[in-house]
Amino acid sequence: MLSYRHGYHAGNSADVLKHFILLYVLDYVKKKNKNFIYIDSHAGAGKYFISDAYMQKNKEYLEGINKIIRIKNNDFFLKNYLDLVKSINFNTELKIYPGSCYLAAKSLRIEDKLHLLELHSTEFSNLKKNFEGDLRVVIENEDSYKKLKKLLPPKEKRAVILIDPSYELKDEYEKASKMLLECYKKFPLGVYIVWYPVLNNKKSESFILNILKENYKNLSHIEMITDNSSNGMQGSGLFIINSPWSIEKDIKESLKIIFDCLKKSKDLSKLLFKNNIN
Ligand SMILES: C[S@@+](CC[C@H](N)C(=O)[O-])C[C@H]1O[C@@H](n2cnc3c(N)ncnc32)[C@H](O)[C@@H]1O
């Protein structure tokens, strides 16, 4: 039985980092001028309303999107992400925080496709409502641990695949790294973005080591510790496989701006950026 609802966390600092990277990667792939498919293995609801009880419970967005959207900056890549969030809000007050698949749909072109998997029945029906009429999008109420590898390789031959589990099951770190490896073996050309939380436990550490020991091609690893003061999530990280070759040059400065804006405890915060592009 799934209990995780992304509405509790929508727009927090982890979402800002993940969605910033996602848009950067999508823009990079779009530059190749060939159509592709975006696959979201754990899609969520797509759109989250700030006034909703979920978002109001812990108000995590106040430490994330609400902070970063107010800063003045001319950074090209950060501006792209923030302008898209603003445009979804009709360039007025922030009322909606868009999830990964909604941002992706806004960023993709008419010729691109989206395939979204969501297991939670309520989130699945919200997702369907949020994409009504968008003929580019296929949405399935399926378990990504069974379904994702069946979608690969896609007929488009090019894909960006976001793997963004809620890690609510005991063995979910193992399941996620196993799924990633199986998908990569079936479709080594895909661009995979994998998100994980930084927690005070061994599970997320061994998840990271598991990914690092595989021979994934062009692997970027980004991690941001913004809050070392709590026992909950201290930060978050992402792996990108088949990462854009210019990623470091492109977004190093943007990441620093995001980090400086979102970090809470100055001394213990950390930004990691490792690249193995060959
Ligand atoms: C972290 S949230 C997704 C957030 C979303 N990707 C975003 O960035 O806006 C994880 C989602 O995965 C769903 N989920 C959990 N287990 C799943 C599974 N095995 N297959 C598909 N979806 C699953 C949860 O219901 C939840 O909505």
Residue 210 lies inside a defined structural domain of this protein: yes
Catalytic residue among 40, 112, 164, 227: 164
| Cβ neighbours of residue 238 closer than 8 Å, sequence gap 6 or more | 17, 18, 21, 193, 194, 195, 196, 220, 221, 222, 223
Question: Once rounded to an integer, what is the mean pLDDT over residues 109-134?
Answer: 97
What confidence score (pLDDT) does residue 225 get? 92
Total domain count for the chain? 1
Residue 243 lies inside a defined structural domain of this protein: yes
- Residue of 22, 81, 163, 166 best suited for mutating to test ligand 1, as the one with most atoms within 8 Å of CB: 166
Mean pLDDT across the chain: 94
Q: How far apart are CA 38 and CA 26, in angstroms?
A: 9
Question: Once rounded to an integer, what is the mean pLDDT over residues 7-23?
Answer: 96
CATH of the domain at 26: 3.40.50.150
Residue 1 lies inside a defined structural domain of this protein: no
Torsion angle of alpha carbons 88, 90, 91, 96, nearest 10°?
-50
What confidence score (pLDDT) does residue 35 get? 97
What confidence score (pLDDT) does residue 229 get? 60
Give, for 100, the enclosing helix (H) or strand (E).
Answer: helix 100-107
Residue 97 lies inside a defined structural domain of this protein: yes
What confidence score (pLDDT) does residue 128 get? 98
Question: Once rounded to an integer, what is the mean pLDDT over residues 215-235?
Answer: 86
Structural domain range at position 236: 6-276
What confidence score (pLDDT) does residue 265 get? 74
Q: How far apart are CA 267 and CA 228, in angstroms?
A: 9
Model confidence at 277, in pLDDT bands (50, 70, 90)?
A: confident
